[in-house]
Structure 1
Amino acid sequence: MRNCNTILSTQANTHKSWQQNSKDSLKSPRPFRETGAAHLSIQRFSSVLISSSQNLNLSSNTMAALGNRGTVTEASGFKPEEDAQKLHNAMKGAGTNEATIIEILAHRTIAQRQKIKEAFKQSVGKDLLDCLKSELTGNFEKVVVGLMMSAPVYDAYELRNAIKGAGTEEACLIDILASRSNAEKKEIIATYKKEHGKSLEDDVCGDTSGMFQRVLVSLLAAGRDESTKVDEAQAVQDAKDIYEAGEARWGTDEVKFLTVLSVRNRNHLLRVFQEYQKISGRDIEDSIKREMSGCLEDVFLAIVKCMKNKPAFFAERLYKSMKGLGTTDSVLIRIMVARAEIDMLDIKAEFLKMYGKTLHSFIKGDTSGDYRKILLELCGGEK
């Protein structure tokens, strides 16, 4: 296992230097050079605010973070005691009334579901989540279980499942760690420790290696500058550094990419991407695909895509989870559950724009039964 504390210390010092004097040319630490990466096939994801003062050719849907852009909103006239009783009635006796479960849980916010859990325990004397698990099965159960968890608990739960046992679902690690804010990641780390009795950082280090591990540890440090400030001179220098670390040389100095992509704020990175296009004649995504492979390629692409347009990133992830033969249900469920209350409206709009078909129609064609029904409710209609 690598000494992750040493890695974190290096990243923290780099970030501190950037914050203290962003107008000085920041020299990236080069503790060692690494080339290549583990050759595993994954996919991508994430974004936050967009400055109206920047002349950026990006979708207005990246404004999702400014307000509630979810398909799931607070139910008016909410009465947790009544919902708890309806759920109890739906599960008692022979058989289960899945329609009632869908009608209630797919149309309540996370906060409202937690109140239903409390009311259920008080009136029935049982844990609602345990009761649901005993009554439901398959992917439908997985969606319902996810809906009953708070956001940090669900993310911690997904990360734990991705790490434990034989093999690692690297796509899950990338999806979550590349798309969450500093505050969200800190809460996930604390929740992971509380719920699973382990350090998320240690578990990640124990299941990954090389430069891919270093990027994940850097993301876990939750030290990204989240201001909106753009240092024009530094943006030009960062673009040059990335170009010289990749396209302009034989081999790739991934540390340069890590230093810039894991520390700089979103607006600054968008300027870096513009400058990189001018210098190299290529989009930064194309260069990452040319210079890297496997998990390392996937995580850097995810960071870039999240900075550009987070809803579009998730739209792509959903599309790839359903296209062709079979469905990657773990990805489909994770995104539908995690984003329903945040930016699903924007994800749907990006999906339609990118693929010419609605997300609703894709889900309808790739799933069935109660699993399909609850996903379509979370999707929020055909348009």
Structure 2
Amino acid sequence: MAGRGTIKAQSGFNANADAQALYKAMKGLGTDEATILKLLTARSNAQRQEIKAAYKTLHGSDLVSDLKSELTGKFESLIVALLSAPTKYDVECLKHATKGAGTTEKVLIEILASRTTNEVQAINKLYKQEYGKTLEQDVCSDTTGAFEQMLVILIQASRQQGVQEANVQADAKTLFDAGEKKFGTDEEQFVTILGNRSAEHLRRVFAEYMKLSGFQIEESIQRETSGHLKEVLLAVVKCARGVPTYLAECLYNSMKQGSGTDDQTLIRIMVSRSEIDMLDIRAEFRRMFATSLHKMITNDTSGDYRKTLLLLCSGDDA
């Protein structure tokens, strides 16, 4: 969907001038955070990459390292994320999710369920280049069972194209037979169908499933599966219905009262979708919840961190 992002390339862009402005904002006593956040949110990611290159040429040092030494906390994390190229940023988030103590399943699920086939293929390629191991190897060493199988299928990024008319009813019946109709669940069938069919094919299957069973597929998944498998299957179903709707829900959950703010998720989605579909995410957020994304960010965050997020959100749908 073209032009549904909130961040656009700046016309009359001059990488050298921007690199100088950032250098000046960090030099001397105290840091001029306002200049940094305003400048970086008014440029596209491709332009930010040019600024990084110009900065190195002009000053012989790395822009990201310099910013890290000047900034702190969530604001620093957000600014550093803005300076990462999109595929590299996804790759870093995925690597971070699989290393160290415990796997952050939620990150694996959100990225792998919401990215396009081409995006996942680009992630696989860069992941292998950066870390000498494949994403699949890292995921398999950290996960098990049907959850692992589902992630592996998503990592293959070889969903069928278009709608297979002849299979719509058969797929709906297979899902019905694998879940609601039998005692226990044939998870394999859910994994294969939800992992391999195109979004438009799946939307047709869900409509047939509803006719057949009297339930939305989401209700059956809630009842028939549990744990991380349930989470990944629901994410795939929601993304097939509409990625912005799914990500709006992830954003809402990241700021829901009572659980503290999940800043990693908030930063990840706001940064990675700001040039893709942030306007659609905002609209879905407003439709589903009794508030706007802008308001929730305002209430849930503070300082320069809040200012930067609000610039990425770029407008209130009150």
The answer on 1:144 being equivalent to 2:79 is yes
Which one of 335, 342, 347 corresponds to residue 276 of structure 2?
342
User: Aligned partner of 2:249: which letter?
Assistant: E
Would you identify which runs of 4 or more consecutive aligned residues in structure 1 move more than 3 Å? none
Instruction: Pick one of 2, 27, 33 that aligns with 1:92.
Output: 27
Shift of 1:196: 2.5
1:130 correspondence with 2:58: no
Report the equivalent of 1:69.
Answer: 4
| Partner residue in 2 for 1:213 | 148
Matched, 1:380 2:317: no
State the SS of the aligned residue for 1:252.
Answer: coil
Q: Are 2:247 and 1:320 aligned? A: no
The match for 2:166 is 233
Higher relative contact order (CA 8 A, sep 6+): 1
One-letter code aligned to 1:259: T
What is the match of residue 219 of structure 2?
286
CA distance in 2, matches of 1:134, 1:201: 34
State the aligned residue count.
Answer: 316
Taking the aligned partners of 1:324 and 1:103, their CA distance within structure 2 comes to 29
C-alpha separation between the residues in 2 aligned to 1:101 and 1:231? Answer: 50
1:233 and 1:89 map into 2 onto residues whose CA distance is 63
- C-alpha displacement of 1:233: 3.0
2:157 and 2:240 map into 1 onto residues whose CA distance is 15
CA drift at 1:159? 0.6
> Percent identity of the aligned residues?
53
In the TM superposition, what is the alpha-carbon distance from 1:197 to its structure 2 partner? 2.8
Which residue pairs with 2:130 in the alignment?
A: 195
Mapped to 2, the partners of 1:248 and 1:135 lie a distance apart of: 60
| C-alpha distance in 2 between matches for 1:70 and 1:275 | 33
Structure 1 runs not aligned, ≥5 long: 1-64
Q: CA offsets per residue over residues 212-255 of structure 1, 9 Å max, x none?
A: 00100111011101x32x23331000000000000000000011
Is 1:155 paired with 2:90? yes
- Residue 105 of structure 1 corresponds to 40
1:250 correspondence with 2:183: yes
Question: 1:195 offset after TM fit, Å?
Answer: 2.1
Instruction: For residue 262 of structure 1, give the secondary structure of its aligned residue in structure 2.
Output: helix
Residue 144 of structure 1, CA deviation: 0.8
Provide the rounded CA distance (Å) in 1 between the counterparts of 2:130 and 2:101: 21
Alignment partners' CA distance in 1, 2:191 and 2:96: 26
Normalising by structure 1, what TM-score? 0.81
Q: CA deviation at 1:186?
A: 1.1
Which residue number in structure 2 is paired with residue 299 of structure 1? 232
Q: Give TM-score, length-normalised by structure 2.
A: 0.98
In the alignment, what sits opposite 1:367? Answer: 301
Partner of 2:285: 351
Task: Kindly state the Cα deviation for residue 198 of structure 1 after the two structures are TM-superposed.
Answer: 2.5
Whichever residue aligns with residue 355 of structure 1, its letter is F
2:266 equivalent among 332, 338, 353? 332
If each structure's helix is expressed as a fraction of its own residues, which one has the higher value? Answer: 2
- Give the match's secondary structure for 1:74: coil
User: Structure 2: how far apart are the matches of 1:204 and 1:309?
Assistant: 25
CA distance in 1: counterparts of 2:34 and 2:174, whole angstroms: 56
Give the secondary structure class of the aligned counterpart of 2:265: helix
Q: CA deviation at 1:353?
A: 0.8
Secondary structure of the residue aligned to 2:141 is helix
Establish whether residue 173 from structure 1 lines up as the match of residue 126 from structure 2.
no
Secondary structure at the counterpart of residue 54 of structure 2: helix
Measured in 2, the distance between the counterparts of 1:178 and 1:374 equals: 27
Q: Which amino acid aligns with 1:311?
A: P
What whole-Å deviation, never above 9, does each CA across 1:154-213 have from its counterpart, x for those lacking one?
Answer: 000001111111011100000001111111111111111222332211111111111100
Output the amino acid matched with 2:216.
D
Aligned to 1:49: none
Amino acid at match of 2:293: L
Partner of residue 259, structure 1 = 192
Structure 2: any 5+ residue segments left out of the alignment? none
Structure 1: distance between partners of 2:71 and 2:141: 33
- What is the rounded CA distance, in whole Å, between the counterparts of 1:292 and 1:317 in structure 2? 20
Residue deviations 1:320-343, cap 9 Å, x none? 110112101111111001000100
